[in-house]
Amino acid sequence: MIKFDKNNLKQWMRLGPRAMYGQFMLEIAKFTPNLMVISADLGRSSGLDRFKKQFPEKYMSVGISEQNMIGVAAGLAYEGYKVFVSSFAPFLSMRSSEHIRMNLGYMEHPVNLVALGSGVSMGFLGNSHFGLEDIAYMRSIPNMNLSSPADSAELGKTLIDYAENNRGPSYIRLTGIPGSKNVYSKDFKYTFGRGKILEKGENILILATGSIVGQSLIAVRNLHKRDIFPELINIHTLNYASKFITKILNKKKYEKLIIIEEHSIIGGLCSIVSEVIADNNINIDLHKIALPNKYLNNGDYNYLLNYYGLNAESIEKKIKKIVNV
């Protein structure tokens, strides 16, 4: 039984989402007899070293062959296994996209794709390893679930949910690094398909996804000192975001809507929200804080967040400008 207590959450923050993926799978293996975990030669990078030693019969490495991995995973899922596969985000989402489209989306095989190091969290490895377009790719595939946990604790809740339920093919996007800001400091309720309100407010609505939720939370709490009280919602399940956001915007009137994500400004949460506004003829002042649609610099993760305006200080400044403070 995984305990989501204060001490564990602090430790998980220090380890980061990639290491915690492996740790959570160790626990999930104890109550999932038909579990199979597959890696494309990234067992150590997936935090799976202990897993493969403790559960060798539940672990498989296919080498650097992501497309083949999807075929193997689909076959195992067809035979009744609960399958989780992992690789770096661009290799998993783009190199394997046609195989995911047909073997998982079309055939509806319930394989869980765990995308390591998405956004700019691969830092110095640069554009070949950045996951800047993966939401756009995955959300265009029918039947595909798409989760973007805000921190390691929410990653744990997400993995448990997918292990306990047959939700069909799924893509789980890991962003952030060891030490990235925790969103949750104690146990919390996780509901698949629904966003989570982290800060209640008036007039200004902020929607964020992934580890950037933590940066956004710091910014929002700093804005309270200036008597600015935005409402902040964590959008952790992106394939259900349109319905949830439509309901939120129809229920309450906001003057300004701000989208924040560590993804290309094209195809991700910014595009999801833009589609909702256009489809429902909603009149609202929309602002987007995201990565530009171009090849980026490489460098330290925190440097890149600062450079591209996605750290807490930059987000706070941009919100002040939006509200004319």
Element (DSSP H or E) covering residue 11: helix 6-15
Average pLDDT over the chain, rounded to an integer:
96
Report the distance separating Cα 302 and Cα 325, nearest Å.
26
Domain 6-173 matches domain 196-322 at the CATH topology level: yes
- Amino acid of residue 213: V
Strands of the sheet with 35-39, listed across from one edge: 59-61, 35-39, 82-88, 111-116, 170-173, 145-147
Report the distance separating Cα 195 and Cα 256, nearest Å.
18
Contact criterion met (CB below 8 Å) for 45 and 91 = no
Break the chain into its structural domains and give their ranges. 6-173, 196-322
Q: What is the pLDDT of residue 265?
A: 98
CA Rg, the chain, in Å? Answer: 19
CATH assignment of 6-173, given 1.10.10.10, 3.40.50.970, 3.90.1150.10, 3.90.79.10? 3.40.50.970
Q: What pTM does this model have?
A: 0.97
Report the distance separating Cα 156 and Cα 207, nearest Å.
22
Q: What is the pLDDT of residue 1?
A: 76
Beta-strand ranges (E) seen in 48-155 are 59-61, 82-88, 111-116, 145-147
Beta partners for residue 288, in sequence order = 259
86 phi and psi, to 5 degrees?
Answer: -145, 145
Q: What is the pLDDT of residue 251?
A: 86
* H-helix segments, 17-59: 17-29, 49-54
Report the distance separating Cα 309 and Cα 290, nearest Å.
8
Q: Which residues contact 227 (CB under 8 A, 6 or more apart)?
A: none
| CATH number 3.30.450.40 is the correct assignment for the domain at 196-322 | no
- Amino acid of residue 323: V
| Tokens describing residue 268 | 């991700």
Report the Cα 33 to chain-centroid distance in Å. 26
| Helices vs strands, H then E, count in the chain | 13, 11
The one-character DSSP state at 141 is: S
Report the distance separating Cα 211 and Cα 33, nearest Å.
31
Q: What share of the chain is helix, strand, coil (3-state, %, to 5)?
A: 45, 20, 35
Q: Which residues of the chain have pLDDT under 70?
A: 325
